[in-house]
Chain A
Amino acid sequence: MPEFQKQLPAINESNKPFWEAARRHELVVYGCGCGALYSQVTECTACGNPDMKWIKVSGRGQVFTFCVYRQAFHPAWKDDIPYNVAYVKLDEGPLLISNIVGCANEDVYIGMPVEVIFDDVTDEVTLPKFRPVKL
């Protein structure tokens, strides 16, 4: 496999469980016993509970917003132009930044139903991405 040129996620103690789950091809979000769910590590802003855990979710959601890069801002992305970056609102609530794959950029729209797929970009790192749900 040629060396991966793009930036990899900055994995740290806080977010390690997210990336370990992705490696297992599971999507997790950070959740509280009260039902509130978050895309990142936080205390529960709904009830103040500091005792949170990572919870597996369905991996389904909708495109909340997106943009299409027509110019590369980082050399490693030059050959990907044009590519999209989207915020996906999971059915469970949290927003995740990702790419919509498996369709043309022109076909992406706000509200588009999507589901997670897992892109093993290196031997250690897997990026959750999303593709259109075939209705």
Chain B
Amino acid sequence: MTDAEKMSIRGKYAFAGVGLTRLGKIPEMTPDELAARAITLALEDAGMRPDDVDGYIYQGGIGGGLSDTIPLQMVGIPASMVWQAASLGSYANVMVAMAIGAMESGLCNTCVLVHAARATSRRGGQMGPMGTGGNTPGAYGWYGPGATAACMAQRFRHLYGLTREQLGSISLTLREYANKRPEAIMHDRAITMDDYLSARMVVEPLCLYDFCLVNDGAVALIITSAERARNLKKRPVYVMGYGIDHSLREMGKSPEAIHHFDGFVAEKAAEQAFGMAGITVKDIDVAEFYDAFTVFLLSQLESYGFCGKGEAGAFVEAGNLKLGGELPANTSGTSLSWGYLMGFTQLTEGIRQMRGEGGECQVKDAEICLVTGLGGMVDNGSAATCCILRR
């Protein structure tokens, strides 16, 4: 695709509807029911009817496998395009790219992106042995993505002197945001640095507050042409650009480079998205980073160019992610304190910020938002994805 073609997509599509269920423990609803509820709410929000939607891209979250078109049948959406997306944190932004690609090529006109999670009913954390060589993690007791995050944090401690207080300042900043957001799971639960430092260790050097939440819930986002979105109920939120990167591309450099314990490989995603949007990193008013673990947020500050290598710890500790800071970020409390819906946690909040619906956490006059996602494993190659939204 030429630069001119890429630029021609800039601002051509927009989010028109957001539907979010309650977050938390919702044992009485199946993933399909949660998804259907979210879709209904998104249609109401946009002021659209079910037959206004002809594209559907869905992602089962943790424990939230969807029965393909059942949620659409429940709502009465006669879609002609149905796609399932991989269950990874990188895919919310990929689904934006899929939807725009589909609309651009005439496969559909209006697309609903759906994520549903039923994580509380699933016994989490287990991952079996994998690998095609000597690397067989399960045999050595390596389970769950927390270990890769912990090993990344250990490297940052070693290389850059990352402190527990710096990681803790991420947890606290996000918790403060969540305390101001009524729908956040941790809305009523404040934490202090003492709480962080004395919290139960899960996989050292990471403790309970370095890990994201485990919850049920669903979200549906409606995306359509900018022209159409302008005639709907809510202020359109334009997609200015998106980008995708993967550490796999490093394998030619050195056999072990795909592991990237020293930081996420996201430079190409940033370059593509910023280029498509016609902006630089300095133009970002608010960012919503994928935050399954505190250290993931920290590493992306460097990978996307907001900080130099090794500087992110001091950057967050200085309060730069708070309202009034240099880069207000993760303004709902996101995965660490609001709720985990894979990359949809960030995408949903990004859209709300661009609509001015951030409530007490609204970044004043914010016009441009970066939303990121991550998927895969630090120790086996991972994807970094992003999109840029504009009000």
- In the complex, the number of residue pairs spanning A and B with C-beta atoms less than 8 Å apart equals 141
Q: Are B132 and A45 in contact (CB under 8 A)?
A: no
User: How many of A's residues come within 8 Å of B, CB to CB?
Assistant: 52
Partner of A29, one of B134, B150, B252: B134
Q: Are A96 and B134 in contact (CB under 8 A)?
A: yes
Q: Are B132 and A12 in contact (CB under 8 A)?
A: yes
Complex formed: what's the CA distance from A48 to B133 in Å?
A: 19
Q: Which of B79-87, B114-122, B253-261 is near enough to bind chain A?
A: B253-261
Complex formed: what's the CA distance from A49 to B60 in Å?
A: 39
Q: Are A30 and B139 in contact (CB under 8 A)?
A: no
Q: Is residue B308 contacting chain A, with contact meaning CB distance below 8 A?
A: no
Q: Which of B68-76, B200-208, B348-356 is near enough to bind chain A?
A: B200-208
Q: A70-B202, A87-B151, A95-B256 are in contact. Are A7 and B139 (CB under 8 A)?
A: yes
Residues 4-44 of chain A, each 1 if its beta carbon lies under 8 Å from chain B, else 0? 00111110101100100010000011100000111111100
Q: Are A93 and B256 in contact (CB under 8 A)?
A: yes
Q: Are A7 and B138 in contact (CB under 8 A)?
A: yes
Chain B residues with Cβ below 8 Å from A18 are: 133-134
Chain A residues with Cβ below 8 Å from B143 are: 73-74, 77
Residues 122-137 of chain B, each 1 if its beta carbon lies under 8 Å from chain A, else 0? 0001101111111111
Which chain A residue lies CB-closest to B128? A7
Chain B residues with Cβ below 8 Å from A22 are: 134
- Listed in ascending order, the chain B residues whose CB lies under 8 Å from chain A are 125-126, 128-144, 146-147, 150-152, 154-155, 158, 200-206, 251-252, 255-256, 259, 261, 379
Known: A7-B129, A46-B252, A89-B256. 5 other contacts (CB 8 A): A6-B141, A36-B255, A71-B203, A82-B204, A93-B255
10 contacts between A and B (CB under 8 A): A6-B139, A15-B131, A30-B133, A42-B255, A67-B206, A69-B203, A89-B256, A95-B135, A97-B140, A127-B140
